[in-house]
Amino acid sequence: MDKLLVTAQQAGPIPLNASFSCAPGELLALVGPSGSGKTTLLRTIAGLYQPQRGQVSCAGATWFLAQGGQRLSLTPQQRQIGMVFQDYALFPHLTALQNVQLAMGHLPRAQRLEQAVQWLTKVRLEGLEARYPSELSGGQRQRVALARALAREPQVLLLDEPFSAVDQVTRRRLQRELALLREQINIPIVLVTHDLEEATALADQICVLHNGVSLQQGTPEALFRRPVSPLVAKLLDRHNVYTGKVVETANGRRLQWGEWLLEVGGGMASCDVGESLAWYLPPSDIVLHRRGRPSQGERENPVAATVSEMVVLGGITSVSLRVSHGDMLRFDIATHAAKRNQLRQGESVHVSLLAEGIHLMPMPVPKRTHTTKGTCYDPDTPPTA
């Protein structure tokens, strides 16, 4: 297989129980809090760290294997990786051109100059070849580092928070340039980032990590709409996570949430009556009713609430609603729409919680236990992806 495949397990001071994959031409973002193992896994791919057990393979070749008595580990030089560090790691006494040429040991000397110039041109640094890192801006140094990584003609590109050291304007420009550059290369790209907006904008796939464990991998849309557990929802900064109980009604099974009986898109045929579940609703599936025009149920699950908080952030207003049993509903609305509806703190409103948006999740269970019924398992110690 041409994919990058990674599994890593170990106990001890740096616990790991992670697995993920990345296809050629894809960008996979590793996200999670500090200490979740993102950089350790990047170093594992690069050959700078060896876990107790696991495997790293890319383009059909095994780079690392430690399982069943077998042990194999190629050196970083043998793995054909390109890596861009957070601090760029450029040689200060070499020019931009010389820094890129340094990565071309696999080419005849006669070809290195021309190829280095071409790579600097691809990252839009033509005319700056003779400048030293101290004479370049942060964004320019980052592009030299990227050109140097790609000049190795790697089979995988590793990016360790590559844009964290530049200002926001430069960061957005570099993100755009990376997106454009991806069209010219067809290798797996693994990005470590703390920035969920960056991961969403750039990544084809996101892998969520926590305490060295890979909790879920999928497209940004899939993760943000269907997190596998409340823990994943929390790590993705998702609000609107609640608990409810499955009840039988004359109209079929419903999810009891305080005084409300909610219809769930897709039904709850696989759930047991009386079962407690966690559930999540994306903010986009909360629909505010117009003043004086309460829903008759046509948008599903109408609920009464009180405006608890409103925060105006330019053209967007963040709204928090409190329902009768105390839970909070959070969503964003265009500021002009909030004004048109005359939203004010303390005011009573009605919203619809769209059935198709309600996503059921297993309730968290005590650690070190495992439940396989349906899709339920301990979100803190789930099976690896």
Q: Do 300 and 179 belong together in one domain?
A: no
Q: Per-residue pLDDT tens for 277-319? A: 999 999 999 999 887 666 666 558 999 999 999 999 999 999 9
Q: Do 212 and 270 belong together in one domain?
A: no
- Among 226, 260, 280, which residue terminates a domain? 226
For 286-352, the DSSP string reads EEEPPTT----STTS-EEEEEEEEEEEETTEEEEEEE-TTS-EEEEEEEHHHHHHTT--TT-EEEEE
Strand-strand pairing, 252-257 and 156-160? unpaired
Residue 17: other Cβ atoms inside 10 A: 21
Q: Do 346 and 259 belong together in one domain?
A: yes
Note whether residue 152 is domain-resident: yes
The answer to whether the CB of 192 falls within 8 A of the CB of 30 is yes
Beta bridge partners of 82: 157
Q: Do 135 and 193 belong together in one domain?
A: yes
pTM: 0.87
The CATH code of the domain that includes 217 is 3.40.50.300
Q: Do 150 and 38 belong together in one domain?
A: yes
Instruction: Give the span between the Cα atoms of 345 and 273, in whole angstroms.
Output: 37
The CATH code of the domain that includes 331 is 2.40.50.100
Note whether residue 231 is domain-resident: no
Residue 239: other Cβ atoms inside 10 A: 16
Q: Per-residue pLDDT tens for 170-199? A: 888 888 888 888 888 899 999 999 999 999
Joined together, the tokens standing for residue 239 give: 């609000």
Among candidate residues 380, 357, 376, 377, the one with its CA nearest the CA of residue 283:
357
Note whether residue 371 is domain-resident: no
Note whether residue 372 is domain-resident: no
Q: Do 243 and 221 belong together in one domain?
A: no
Q: Do 101 and 196 belong together in one domain?
A: yes
Note whether residue 165 is domain-resident: yes
Counted domains in the chain: 2
Torsion of CA 282, 287, 288, 289, to 10 degrees: -160
Note whether residue 220 is domain-resident: yes
Q: Per-residue pLDDT tens for 211-267? A: 999 999 999 999 999 999 999 999 999 999 999 999 999 988 999 999 999 999 887
Domain encompassing residue 188: 4-226
Q: Indicate the DSSP class of residue 92.
A: T
Beta bridge partners of 17: 9, 213
Residue 47: other Cβ atoms inside 10 A: 18
Q: Do 91 and 194 belong together in one domain?
A: yes
Note whether residue 233 is domain-resident: no
Note whether residue 79 is domain-resident: yes
Measured CA to CA in angstroms, residue 3 lies from 28, 46, 61, 62, 167 at distances of 12, 15, 10, 11, 33
Q: Indicate the DSSP class of residue 369.
A: -
Q: Do 26 and 76 belong together in one domain?
A: yes
Choose between 68 and 129: higher pLDDT. 129
Residue-level pLDDT at 341: 86
Q: Do 215 and 260 belong together in one domain?
A: no
Residue 49: other Cβ atoms inside 10 A: 16
Joined together, the tokens standing for residue 40 give: 């350790």
Report the pLDDT averaged over residues 49-63: 94
Joined together, the tokens standing for residue 332 give: 């964003």
Residue type, position 71, single letter: R
Joined together, the tokens standing for residue 132 give: 């030293």
Q: Do 148 and 248 belong together in one domain?
A: no
Q: Do 80 and 187 belong together in one domain?
A: yes
Q: Per-residue pLDDT tens for 326-352? A: 999 999 999 999 998 889 999 999 999
